[in-house]
Amino acid sequence: MESWLSKQSAFLLLFLIKFLVFVDLPVSLCAYDWYSSCSNNRFNCGKITNVGYPFWGDARPDACGHPDLKLNCAKDITTIEIKRLTYRVLAVNESTKILKIVRDDYWGGICSPRLENTSLDHDLFDYGPGYLNITLEYGCTLLLQFDQMAIRFSCPINGSTGAIIYYLSSIPDLVGACKYNVKVPVVASAAAAAINLTEEALIEAIDGGFMLEWNASNGICDGCQRSGGLCGFNTSTNAFACHC
Ligand SMILES: *[C@@H]1O[C@H](CO)[C@@H](O)[C@H](O)[C@H]1NC(C)=O
Ligand SMILES: *[C@@H]1O[C@H](CO)[C@@H](O)[C@H](O)[C@H]1NC(C)=O
Ligand SMILES: *[C@@H]1O[C@H](CO)[C@@H](O)[C@H](O)[C@H]1NC(C)=O
Ligand SMILES: *[C@@H]1O[C@H](CO)[C@@H](O)[C@H](O)[C@H]1NC(C)=O
Ligand SMILES: *[C@@H]1O[C@H](CO)[C@@H](O)[C@H](O)[C@H]1NC(C)=O
Ligand SMILES: *[C@@H]1O[C@H](CO)[C@@H](O)[C@H](O)[C@H]1NC(C)=O
Ligand SMILES: *[C@@H]1O[C@H](CO)[C@@H](O)[C@H](O)[C@H]1NC(C)=O
């Protein structure tokens, strides 16, 4: 009896040793090697290089980032879609978690906007420090005396030949004067240049972009990274995943 027991424990011990030596535990726990796939496929496009979590897109698989943070690359231009509007990505800073973007419909000009206010997905983004909203009024017919912040120039929009007016801060009462208005954020220091009241200065200020801070499970991601993992997403459960 005693020898049978010891024989059995010896067998168990051998089995355990064999298991520990020959079975690669991380591989057995990870269904697919997303760790390598995500670390080897960082996002690169033109001036935007070496971008990791929470972004994905182009050659970077969807399991490497947040579903709503897909970057697109075309002709070396990086774009991202936020609430159905397309933005050009000017810079990505992973350590500060700040994205610098500009509305694509305002790139190089202010006369062909999508008539939609800039709006964020507040679950993911917050405006970065030091920005102002510029309000652009389109299709204005009644050009009364506007305050000194106003600039007007011809800008045919949706068939109307009305002028465009912009305001740096508060919008005065324009009831009936203009058909549409669009709010566009700019960094406050750039907005100062737009005070020059020229179309070029205004375009330049807008094209300077504005900053967004992202929060894509930032806290959980930090913990994942400290444990040696790589932040990503589980595309079947649609939840954060720590790839190992
Ligand atoms: C990110 O921002 C920090 C702090 O402003 C700066 O030191 C760093 O160079 C930036 N990194 C990149 C890649 O721009
Ligand atoms: C933008 O927001 C303002 C209110 O803040 C609203 O009056 C205006 O109609 C909005 N513009 C568009 C194009 O939705
Ligand atoms: C800018 O406009 C957005 C809405 O379009 C608003 O949520 C935000 O508070 C405004 N920011 C400032 C500084 O006025
Ligand atoms: C542009 O004009 C067309 C035709 O007048 C109208 O149906 C459409 O609603 C207008 N677009 C906007 C954003 O108001
Ligand atoms: C306004 O324009 C003038 C002439 O182009 C330039 O010298 C000046 O620096 C501009 N002011 C600002 C605040 O950008
Ligand atoms: C990020 O979002 C989570 C919840 O989604 C929240 O608990 C956390 O405080 C946020 N972190 C920052 C820095 O805003
Ligand atoms: C995603 O979650 C499912 C269910 O929890 C799990 O079986 C699968 O291995 C996970 N995939 C990844 C890549 O984490």
Kindly state if the Cβ of 182 falls inside 6 Å of ligand 2: yes
Going by pLDDT thresholds of 50, 70 and 90, the confidence category of residue 99 is very high
Closest ligand by atom to 97 CA: 1
By the 8 A CB rule, do 64 and 41 touch? Answer: yes
Residue found by looking up tokens 């040696």 in the block: 228
Please tell me the distance from the alpha carbon of residue 136 to that of residue 155, in angstroms, as a whole number: 11
Nearest Cα neighbor of 82 from 51, 63, 105, 49 is 105
List pLDDT tens digits, range 191-202.
Answer: 776 666 677 888
The residue to mutate among 42, 51, 96, having the most atoms of ligand 1 within 8 angstroms of its beta carbon, is 96
Ligand 6 center from residue 184 Cα (angstroms)? 25
Which ligand minimizes its atom distance to the CA of 191?
Answer: 5
Confidence of residue 136 (pLDDT cuts 50, 70, 90): confident
For ligand 4, atom 4: residue with the closest CA: 158
Q: Mutation test of ligand 2: which of 116, 174, 183 has the most ligand atoms closer than 8 Å to its C-beta?
A: 183
Identify which of 28, 36, 234 to mutate to test ligand 7's pocket (most ligand atoms within 8 A of the CB): 234
**Pairing label, strands 131-140, 98-103:** unpaired
**Higher per-residue pLDDT: 140 or 78:** 78
Contact 173, 192 (CB under 8 A): no
Using a CB cutoff of 8 Å and minimum separation of 24, what contacts does 75-81 make? 76/45, 76/46, 76/47, 77/45, 77/46, 78/43, 78/45, 78/46, 78/48, 79/104
CA of 236 to the centre of ligand 7 (A): 7
Where does the pLDDT of residue 139 fall: very low under 50, low under 70, confident under 90, or very high at 90 and above? confident
DSSP state for residue 63 in the 8-state scheme = G
Quickly state the pLDDT bin for 17 (edges 50, 70, 90). very low
Look up the pTM and report it.
0.81
